[in-house]
Structure formats: structure tokens, C-alpha cells
Amino acid sequence: MAAGATAGTTALGGAGGTATNGDINAPGMSGTSANRGSASFGVTGAGGSSQFGGGGASKNVTGAAGNAGTGYGAGGGGGIVVSGSAAVSGGNGTPGIIIVDEFK
């Protein structure tokens, strides 16, 4: 959430990823919302999880980059900027996964 956001602002998390063309398709979960309580305090949204990985955790410290997702197909958590802190990045998401069963 941007430093200029008004106190009491909520920003919705991003949409979860899609999965198509497989025998089993497991789409990702949406990220969680971020909330700004005051000019000096806010909480970031967590990244969305998947069947094979966990989303990056939320943060509530000033000027902190987001936490990275873990496993496969997980989103990164949001970064936080309050009280004029320098811009920071959200956490990295993780690559998806394809599982191939080979039959003889």
C-alpha cells in the first residue's frame, strides 16, 4: 500500500492464478487484503497459497519488503511503506509446477 494512502484504507489482495488443460487443475488462492490504520502503522496483505506452496506472510513494520512465497505456485506478500519511508518491493512469488505421470 502506498505511503500516501489515507488512514483507514484497505487494499484488496490480488487474484489467484489459474490452472488449465490438465487432468487435475488446482488454481491458486487470492492474496489477502492490506490495511492502513494510521499515518505510521499498516499491515500488508499475505500472498496467495496453492496446493503445493505457501504465500508470503504479511508484515507490519515500517519500510519492509514483502516476504517471498515458498514451495510451488505461491504468491509473495506485500511490502509496506508508511510515514515517508522509501519505496519497497513486494515479495517474490514462486514458479508453478507440472506433475507428469508416465505409464508403461
**Structural domain harbouring 82:** 1-94
Supply 64's cell numbers: 519492509
What is the pLDDT at residue 101?
A: 87
Q: Is residue 100 domain-resident?
A: no
Per-residue b or e along 40-71, where b marks 16 or more CB atoms closer than 10 Å to that residue's CB: eebbbbbbbbbebbbbbbbbeebbbbbbbbbe
Mean pLDDT along residues 8-13: 85
Mean pLDDT along residues 17-31: 87
Q: Is residue 104 domain-resident?
A: no
For 47-96, write each residue's pLDDT tens digit. 999 999 999 999 987 778 899 999 999 999 999 887 777 888 999 999 98
Q: Is residue 40 domain-resident?
A: yes
How many domains would you assign to the chain? 1
Mean pLDDT along residues 29-57: 90
Integer Cα distance of 76 and 27 in angstroms: 16
